[in-house]
């Protein structure tokens, strides 16, 4: 079926396009981008007054399948992604079993093809079982289809082992995505170490737990000249380390999450376990440094770190509850609220950090609006304000600190490979 999107403001950071145009989709691809396109047999979508952007790309999603299908599945996670405007998501390897064999990679691709509504790309484990003791069979995992390697949730402590991982990924031309956390410093901590941890009597995690790990990985990067991507950067010290590394022309990129841009450690005063994340919510000065890092191009990507958890686990006391919140359905709106509306980033620059930048880091042909390219698009009403409601989440889990917030900008339609995969009408039909 052909689809004709009429009179939307097309914003494509990859090409610099920012003008009102029509887009004709035939099959899985974009056939034509121009003014006043006519196609009598196409399904018409009126996008006047709306923006049309590339389908968003999330480098850091936890889908929990296999192993914790009570928290999320490839099906529910991909539905949540589509509602948030994402058409490509990279699922992290800390599943049960972890993504450390081709069999698990193949399983994820099969399930995604059968049940998913958007593209799901697996990230492979750096080490077997994510135990930090022995490298996974990286060549076989790459051949099976992983787009990067990470022991997310764990930092590879053994520097010699991490050096070898860097050398292998250099040959395979994929990035290492490092969860930078020195567990000897963070062990037992449940929030940022500082004024509020002292006030609340909760054990803290110092910024240095992240910064020491970032420094080590950057030192190994200088030795090996591979591609290093630092996950969920959260401290001003880490931003400074990455800034210096970029000046030294090292191949380092980094990401920040919307919640680390929105909430500070002061939010933990509520003892709401939905404020418990890893790395922890940091000081307001760290948030300011993260925003400057985005503005100056030190931080390349905004990623959700979508981390669903079962309600009964999040209802435990703060020290015992697991870290993580869901983020796919609120990410774009939070970015607009915290970065675009205050003038930290233009809308086009913000979209770049959610589309073309992660695509280029991963080496995938996504995140663009171009003739002949994949028809992965989102149509967004920037003027619309919506309330975050627990019952409206398509994610299987509901652990969000933003429930009850009014957020700007609503994704109205998401198109993946030329097929409408999210609209409010589709959502209503699925609930019937």
Residue numbers annotated as active site: 305
d(CA 212, CA 227): 19
Distances (CA, A) of 72 to 67, 78, 116, 340: 10, 10, 12, 30
Contact 381, 409 (CB under 8 A): yes
Q: Considering only CA atoms, which of 412, 301, 421 is closest in space to residue 53? A: 412
Of 301, 211, 182, 208, the closest CA to residue 253 belongs to 301
Nearest one of 188, 332, 187, 362 to 258, comparing CA atoms = 332
Cβ neighbour number for residue 192 with a 10 Å cutoff: 25
Residue 149: count of CB within 10 angstroms of its CB: 29
d(C-alpha 94, C-alpha 65), whole Å: 9
3-state DSSP of 210-225: HHHHHHHHHHHHHHHC
Backbone angles phi and psi of 18, in degrees to 5: -155, 70
The token pair that represents 283 in the structure block: 């000081």
| Segments of 367-425 assigned E as strands | 377-387, 406-416, 419-423
327/258 Cα distance (integer angstroms) = 8
> For residues 151 and 94, what is the distance between their CA atoms, to the nearest angstrom?
7
Joined tokens for residue 36: 């006043």
Specify which residues 145 forms β-bridges with: none
């Amino acid at each position: 079926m052909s689809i004709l999107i009429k009179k939307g403001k097309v914003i494509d950071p990859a090409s610099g396009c920012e003008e009102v145009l029509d887009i004709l989709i035939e099959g899985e691809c974009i056939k034509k981008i121009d003014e006043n396109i006519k196609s009598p047999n196409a399904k018409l979508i009126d996008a006047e007054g709306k923006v049309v952007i590339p389908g968003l790309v999330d480098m850091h999603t936890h889908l929990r399948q296999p192993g914790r299908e009570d928290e999320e599945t490839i099906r529910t996670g991909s539905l949540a992604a589509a509602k948030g405007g994402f058409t490509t998501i990279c699922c992290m390897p800390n599943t049960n079993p972890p993504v450390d064999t081709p069999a698990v990679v193949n399983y994820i691709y099969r399930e995604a093809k059968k049940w998913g509504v958007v593209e799901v790309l697996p990230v492979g484990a750096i080490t077997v079982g994510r135990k930090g003791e022995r490298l996974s069979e990286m060549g076989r995992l790459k051949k099976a289809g992983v787009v990067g390697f990470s022991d997310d949730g764990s930092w590879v402590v053994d520097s010699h082992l991490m050096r070898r991982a860097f050398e292998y990924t250099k040959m395979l031309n994929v990035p290492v995505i490092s969860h930078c956390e020195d567990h000897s410093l963070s062990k037992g901590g449940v929030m940022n170490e500082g004024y509020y941890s002292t006030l609340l009597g909760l054990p803290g995690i110092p910024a240095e737990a992240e910064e020491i790990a970032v420094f080590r990985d950057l030192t190994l990067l200088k030795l090996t000249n591979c591609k290093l991507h630092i996950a969920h950067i959260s401290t001003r010290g880490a931003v400074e380390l990455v800034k210096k590394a970029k000046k030294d022309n090292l191949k380092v990129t980094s990401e920040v999450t919307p919640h680390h841009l929105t909430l500070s450690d002061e939010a933990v005063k509520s003892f709401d376990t939905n404020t418990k994340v890893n790395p922890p919510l940091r000081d307001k000065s760290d948030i300011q440094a993260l925003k400057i890092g985005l503005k100056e191009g030190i931080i390349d990507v905004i990623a959700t770190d979508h981390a669903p958890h079962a309600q009964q686990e999040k209802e435990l006391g703060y020290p015992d509850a697991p870290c993580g919140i869901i983020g796919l359905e609120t990410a774009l709106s939070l970015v607009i609220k915290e970065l675009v509306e205050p003038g930290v980033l233009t809308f086009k620059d913000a979209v770049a950090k959610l589309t073309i930048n992660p695509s280029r880091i991963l080496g995938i042909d996504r995140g663009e609006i171009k003739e002949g390219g994949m028809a992965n698009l989102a149509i967004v009403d920037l003027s619309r304000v919506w309330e975050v409601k627990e019952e409206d989440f398509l994610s299987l889990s509901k652990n969000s600190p933003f429930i009850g917030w009014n957020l700007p900008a609503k994704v109205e339609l998401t198109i993946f490979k030329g097929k409408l995969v999210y609209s409010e009408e589709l959502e209503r039909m699925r609930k019937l």
